[in-house]
């Protein structure tokens, strides 16, 4: 059995530059990953099967097999790279669904890495990367699984260094927002590129252009951000992706306790972790 982590993804900054002819948006984003997240287990079997467990499993139980990104990853891997006739998989779903921190993209990427290990394929194999691109714009970044600058749809990646080990708190107010609806709500204004500098300097000077439409869809996002921004020791507080999960980077691990306790008292989901 192969166990593969599917860590939470955060966008330290997310600049939407323009709408492309193919319907996607031209992006500039700083991807980073937490130490914790979902877990995918894969073992060869006669047929494909997926069992979903964990605190957020219920949100995926009604997903049709054709729409499940993990099962799609398996089918596309087999189509492009061969492999076993089937795989039995278990997904431990610890992260909230439709929350801007990777979710299905991270799970699909973990499945691809597990299949690559089982079949002796390098994770940088162009065929594997092509499969990841076909599954979604965030899947290549999640396949890489390390801090990177993403351009194009977000799938043209340049690895970056910096901020590993930085304490981070993720908070989701237990609301789901539609990525498509948030992008439709973007006002279309190009507010400029990411700046140069260190990773932290670029993140601090950057922004998330999807925050305004996400807050319009779910005003509680603003409350989460306000509480994180006012937490002692925080270095950066921002929404990730299209929401509704927000994060804050902190100076010290001990700084996480108070805002985490506050979030849980409000019934919000949170994860105390650090950047990988």
List residues with catalytic annotation. Answer: 9, 138
Contact 135, 69 (CB under 8 A): yes
The answer to whether the bond into 244 is cis (omega within 30° of 0) is yes
For CA atoms 190, 192, 198, 200, the dihedral sign is negative
Contact 106, 73 (CB under 8 A): no
Q: How far apart are CA 186 and CA 209, in angstroms?
A: 7
Angle between helices 257-265 and 220-229 (to 10 degrees): 160
Tokens 């993720």, residue? 170
Q: How far apart are CA 9 and CA 102, in angstroms?
A: 5
Residue 153: both structure tokens together:
């749809």
């Amino acid at each position: 059995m192969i166990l593969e982590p599917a860590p939470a993804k955060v966008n330290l900054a997310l600049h939407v530059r323009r709408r492309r002819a193919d319907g996607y948006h031209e992006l500039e984003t700083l991807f980073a990953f937490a130490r914790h997240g979902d877990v995918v287990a894969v073992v060869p079997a006669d047929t494909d099967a997926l069992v979903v467990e964990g605190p957020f499993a219920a949100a995926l139980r009604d997903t049709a097999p054709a729409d499940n990104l993990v099962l799609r990853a398996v089918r596309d891997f087999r189509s492009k790279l061969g492999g076993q006739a089937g795989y039995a998989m278990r997904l431990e779903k610890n992260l909230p669904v439709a929350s801007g921190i990777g979710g299905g993209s991270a799970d699909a990427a973990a499945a691809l890495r597990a299949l690559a290990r089982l079949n002796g394929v390098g994770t940088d194999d162009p065929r594997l990367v092509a499969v990841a691109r076909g599954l979604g714009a965030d899947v290549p970044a999640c396949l890489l699984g390390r801090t990177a600058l993403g351009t194009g749809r977000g799938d043209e990646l340049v690895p970056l260094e910096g901020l590993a080990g930085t304490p981070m708190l993720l908070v989701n107010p237990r609301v789901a927002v539609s990525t498509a609806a948030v992008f439709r709500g973007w006002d279309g204004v190009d507010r400029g590129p990411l700046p140069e500098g260190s990773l932290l300097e670029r993140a601090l000077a950057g922004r998330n252009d999807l925050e305004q439409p996400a807050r319009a869809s779910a005003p509680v996002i603003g409350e989460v951000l306000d509480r994180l921004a006012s937490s002692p020791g925080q270095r950066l507080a921002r929404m990730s992706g299209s929401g509704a999960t927000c994060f804050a980077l902190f100076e010290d691990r001990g700084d996480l306790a108070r805002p985490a306790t506050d979030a849980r008292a409000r019934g919000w989901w949170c994860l105390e972790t650090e950047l990988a």
